[in-house]
Structure 1
Amino acid sequence: TLRAAELYTGVLYERLGLPGLLDSPAADRVRERVLVFSGLWGVVGPADRLPPYRLSMGVRLPPLGGLGAHWRRALAGPLGGLAEGRLLVDCRSAAYAAAFRPTGEAAGRTVAVRVLREREVGGTVERSVVSHMAKATRGDIARALLVEDVDAATPEELVAALRDLGHTAELAPAARAGASRVMDVVVRD
């Protein structure tokens, strides 16, 4: 087995640098604040020891069906309780976001990170959603929040903190009262 911090090595995790953070002064924050969603295990902590495996959250397994829906039923209660009173910064892709959707008060304190690329085309500034490299930016954002010990209590405080750290962050209005918010992080060419 190895720590989850070493097991998960995709683009987001490479930029986040969990192994180094677990061996740094930020280690306690990392263990307290970071949850890793797993197709096989549901949710794990970065210091949890796991065997290597390959199973994406987007997989459908008979008789369970889609893993996102399977884990959503199992995780709603425990994660809902854990989320109470905390700001949740959601860096997950859509398949993994299906495994837990905050409700009630927790939904109003959840901020999903969306990455937009801004560039000038023919004298006009255009924005588009970034796909693959969005994971790198999400990893950068999560790392900055941990290293700088940002302890924002509201979505607005989170945006202000990221701006102070040099990021272009914008908070979209909630679609309805009590709904999760979307924070756009803008990268420029």
Structure 2
Amino acid sequence: MKIRPLSIEGAWEITPQQHGDPRGLFMEWYRFDRLAAAVGHPLRLAQGNLSVSARGVVRGIHFADVPPGQAKYVTCVRGTVVDVIVDIRIGSPTFGQWEAVRLDDVDRRAVYLGEGLGHGFCALTDDATLSYLCSTTYNPAGEHAVHPLDPELAIEWPVETPLLSARDDAAPSLAQAREAGLLPSYETCRSFVEGLRPGGMPYSEGI
């Protein structure tokens, strides 16, 4: 398993080692200890989600209030998606920037995004199925969204006409969300994540 940090602080890409033979394959798609060593603290598993999307569907950009936020470990178990992490933390050096990672059922990569980051994806195949491990349970009052087609973000979605939910289509722009006080601050997020680290746990830039 290879874990490497992405360009946005608090996000990692995980590439598992697959072992195959004529019978099929086996892999470790999640390792508590390896992720904790890279991230600097354990991922508290509070909820598991599964989403199935048709080709062309775009979901996001979703985020949660910090504290407690919601860290996510996301992998695609069927089909292909382009997964997008957006830095919505006010004061962050990469505020407003995004990074995309292709997740599919061939390379079987995963992404981990820490508390305070925005998340979305675009389904490139029908029945694209994502599995999420989440650090907190769903809290409707603390869940928010930024419009995935916001020109300020300028996310390069790989479809001509993205299919959005009514909620996502009505979501505010990044500027509107900031004006409304919905966005988390970089310092608050960093302080919260630091508080999750056990005493003496080393921090690694990747494994």
TM-score by length of 2: 0.25
Q: Which has a greater percent of helix?
A: 1
Q: Which has the higher contact order (CA 8 A, sep 6+)?
A: 2
